[in-house]
């Protein structure tokens, strides 16, 4: 049980994301907060916009988007105001992209966790690989105005805090800015080799004994999966390993690039892997290849390190912040450097020291520690 929040007797109301948006990492974070607070003895409830008009998915495209907006921005505020009648100790908006709900909250402190401001920066014309449409620009301005209503913006990395400091206007000392590093949303750990391989065999992911490099993520431009394919292609004649993509299935364009580079036959896709399967992949991978251009945190780096998997990532914040001294880093354009380190880590003697550093670094990402930090923050806002 986490101490320090016994002073808060009233409920903490958590606001999560709209399920049809399928923002899985944000959903996991909200559940992690709910489970962690409950374990700490803190009364907590998670509410989120529910699909009503958005159930009519056959509408498709533009119409479906606006039906979802009715669910999120017309119906949900009514439910939120009803919940506020129960006088919660405070409201925690678990994803800053829902910060606009702060305008409906009066009389209780609001905490908003800010995972990244990449979309906001993109809407302002900054290069973040997150371009915005005209309605997207309006939405991002709405998000910023909502963040300005919060008592505290809790940023998941120092890099995100610096963006918030630059983009969010503070008035009369509000909102305050803080950094609370993310914890792991699953107890990733180093597994006995036979157990990890047995899990992979159970899911028929890879042939027994195959060495592989791993990438975890989506097809978003900033994830740089094109770079992953090009880096792997540089190694194809010197290492007989495979390339595993876990997460979103590859797009047709990415498969075409893999075919053009002559590596598609060595690519393995593991779509929508469970946490248990992902844990086995991290344990068995030679390295996690993570040449992302922009991130708010970079959860796969911490997850891989918790399993003793070395990480080669971009030398930009927050990747370097999360990887610490356990990361091998390169400029995003230095694909030859990424490839050289990948090949170097295929040597067990070279890999083992980096694996030990990874395990040590992962100790920073305890979910219990994260909840304890939020407990301290809540207590400062809602003393009894």
pLDDT of residue 1 exceeding 50, the answer is no
Please state, for a pLDDT cut of 90, what percent of the chain lies above it: 83
Q: Where are the alpha helices (DSSP H) in 43-133?
A: 61-70, 76-84, 118-123
Could you tell me the pTM of the whole model? 0.90
Do 288 and 247 touch, CB atoms closer than 8 A? Answer: no
Do both 155 and 211 map to the same domain?
no
Residue 314 backbone phi and psi in degrees, to 5: -70, 145
pLDDT of residue 383 exceeding 70, the answer is no
| Terminal CA-CA length for the chain | 20
Do 362 and 306 touch, CB atoms closer than 8 A? Answer: yes
Name 313's bridge partners. Answer: 290, 329
Domain that holds residue 37: 12-183+366-381
Average pLDDT of span 7-17: 85
Is 5 a member of any domain? Answer: no
Q: What is the DSSP letter of 318?
A: T
Residue 30 pLDDT grade (very low, low, confident, very high; cuts 50, 70, 90): very high
- In this predicted model, what pLDDT tens digit does every residue of 323-343 receive, in sequence order? 999 999 999 999 999 999 999
Do both 147 and 248 map to the same domain?
no
Mean pLDDT of the chain: 92
Surface-to-core class of residue 360, CB atoms within 10 Å of its CB (0-12 exposed, 13-18 middle, 19+ buried): middle
- Prior bond of 318 cis (ω within 30°): yes
Do both 45 and 155 map to the same domain?
yes
Cβ-based neighbour number of residue 380 at 10 Å = 14
Residue 58 pLDDT grade (very low, low, confident, very high; cuts 50, 70, 90): low
Do 34 and 44 touch, CB atoms closer than 8 A? Answer: yes
In degrees, to the nearest 5, what angle opens at C-alpha 155 toward C-alphas 153 and 156? 150
Is 188 a member of any domain? Answer: no
Is 232 a member of any domain? Answer: yes
Q: Total domain count for the chain? A: 2
For residue 177, give every residue at least 6 positions away whose Cβ sits within 8 Å of its Cβ, in sequence order, or none.
Answer: 152, 153, 155, 161, 164, 165, 168
pLDDT of residue 384 exceeding 60, the answer is no
Surface-to-core class of residue 140, CB atoms within 10 Å of its CB (0-12 exposed, 13-18 middle, 19+ buried): buried
Is 343 a member of any domain? Answer: yes
Do both 150 and 284 map to the same domain?
no
Do both 211 and 288 map to the same domain?
yes
pLDDT of residue 130 exceeding 90, the answer is no
Do both 341 and 371 map to the same domain?
no
Do both 49 and 113 map to the same domain?
yes
Do both 263 and 154 map to the same domain?
no
pLDDT of residue 118 exceeding 90, the answer is yes
Is 6 a member of any domain? Answer: no
Q: What is the DSSP letter of 3?
A: -
Average pLDDT of span 64-82: 90
Is 62 a member of any domain? Answer: yes
Do both 106 and 240 map to the same domain?
no
Residue 60 pLDDT grade (very low, low, confident, very high; cuts 50, 70, 90): low
DSSP 172-235: TTBSEEEE-PPPPSS---PPPHHHHHHHHHHTT-S-TT--EEEEEE-S-GGG-HHHHHHHHHHH
For residue 90, give every residue at least 6 positions away whose Cβ sits within 8 Å of its Cβ, in sequence order, or none.
Answer: 12, 13, 108, 109, 110, 111, 151, 378, 381, 382
Is 4 a member of any domain? Answer: no
pLDDT of residue 7: 55
- CATH code of residue 320: 3.40.50.2000
Largest CA distance in the chain: 66
Do both 265 and 313 map to the same domain?
yes
Do both 372 and 328 map to the same domain?
no
Please state, in angstroms and rounded to a whole number, the distance separating the CA atoms of residues 313 and 325. Answer: 12
Do 261 and 285 touch, CB atoms closer than 8 A? Answer: no
């Amino acid at each position: 049980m986490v101490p320090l929040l016994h002073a808060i007797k009233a409920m903490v109301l958590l606001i999560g994301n709209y399920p049809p948006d399928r923002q899985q990492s944000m959903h996991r974070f909200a559940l992690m907060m709910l489970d962690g607070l409950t374990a700490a003895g803190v009364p907590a409830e998670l509410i989120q916009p529910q699909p009503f008009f958005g159930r009519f998915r056959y509408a498709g495209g533009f119409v479906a988007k606006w039906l979802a907006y009715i669910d999120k921005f017309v119906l949900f505020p009514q439910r939120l105001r009803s919940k506020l009648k129960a006088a919660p100790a405070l409201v925690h908006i678990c994803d800053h992209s829902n910060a606009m709900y702060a305008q409906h909250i009066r009389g209780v402190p609001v905490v908003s966790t800010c995972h990244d401001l990449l979309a906001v920066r993109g809407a302002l014309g900054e290069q973040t690989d997150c371009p915005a449409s005209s309605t997207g620009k309006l939405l991002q301005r709405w998000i910023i105005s909502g963040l300005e209503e919060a008592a505290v913006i809790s940023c998941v990395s120092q890099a995100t805090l610096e963006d918030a400091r630059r983009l969010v206007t503070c008035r009369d000392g509000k909102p305050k800015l803080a950094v609370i590093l993310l914890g792991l949303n699953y107890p990733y750990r180093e597994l006995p080799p036979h157990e990890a391989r047995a899990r992979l065999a159970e899911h028929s992911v890879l042939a027994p004994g195959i060495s592989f490099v791993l990438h975890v993520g989506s097809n978003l431009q900033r994830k740089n999966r094109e770079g992953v394919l090009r880096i792997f292609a540089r190694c194809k004649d010197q290492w007989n390993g495979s390339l595993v993509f876990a997460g979103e299935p590859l797009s047709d364009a990415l498969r075409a690039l893999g075919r053009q580079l002559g590596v598609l036959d060595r690519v393995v896709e593991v779509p929508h892997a469970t946490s248990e399967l992902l844990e086995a992949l991290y344990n068995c991978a030679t390295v996690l290849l993570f040449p992302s251009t922009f991130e708010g945190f970079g959860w796969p780096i911490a997850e891989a390190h918790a399993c003793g998997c070395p990480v080669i990532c971009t030398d930009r914040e927050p990747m370097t912040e999360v990887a610490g001294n356990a990361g091998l880093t390169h400029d995003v354009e230095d694909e030859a450097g990424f490839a050289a380190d990948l090949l170097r880590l295929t040597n067990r003697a070279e890999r083992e020291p980096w694996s030990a550093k990874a395990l040590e670094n992962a100790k920073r990402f305890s979910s219990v520690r994260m909840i304890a930090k939020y407990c301290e923050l809540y207590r400062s806002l809602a003393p009894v």
